[in-house]
Amino acid sequence: MSITLSVNGRPHTVDVSEDTPLLYVLRDELGLNGAKYGCGVGQCGACTVLRDGVPLRACVVPAAALSGRELTTLEGLRAPDGTLHPLQRAFLAEQAGQCAYCIPGMVMAAAALLREKPRPTEAEIRTALDANLCRCGSHNRIVRAIQRAAEELAR
């Protein structure tokens, strides 16, 4: 079937089967490799993207179910001129990722949080990240990065 997805503000028409996961379309058809394949069952968060501003596990949701929705990937957080989003800059400044496999999902979960709560508490940040796994144990740096981004966005 042919569907049109709005990804990062641009329409993309792709041919997919009814059950093709969004993650495969993003990576294989659109060349957007920010979302990672981690567990394949929606538990780790490495594949997190935003659907209408809400975190979504791209590995378990069929792309066909998302026609007409606005999707944002890690690549879509950048400004049109390529400037990194404050979250992306903060994650780099705080050296928030060791292996960095979880970072795209963490950044996307944080983007949704900061959109809803521009000045989250540490507890709110940790709660927002609960569903995203980091096996390296860099959660403290990730939390600091989100706090740093929140401060920058509040200016």
Q: Report pLDDT digits (tens) over 29-72.
A: 999 999 999 999 999 999 999 999 999 999 999 999 998 899 99
CATH H superfamily, domain 86-154: [2Fe-2S]-binding domain (1.10.150.120)
What pLDDT, on the 0 to 100 scale, is given for residue 128?
95
Q: Is 32 left (phi over 0), alpha (psi -120 to 50) or beta?
A: beta
* Portions of the chain given CATH number 1.10.150.120: 86-154
In CATH, what class is 2-76?
Answer: alpha beta
* Residue 111 and residue 61 in contact, taking contact as beta carbons nearer than 8 Å: no
Residue 155 pLDDT greater than 90, yes or no: no
Residue 137 pLDDT greater than 80, yes or no: no
* Portions of the chain given CATH number 3.10.20.30: 2-76
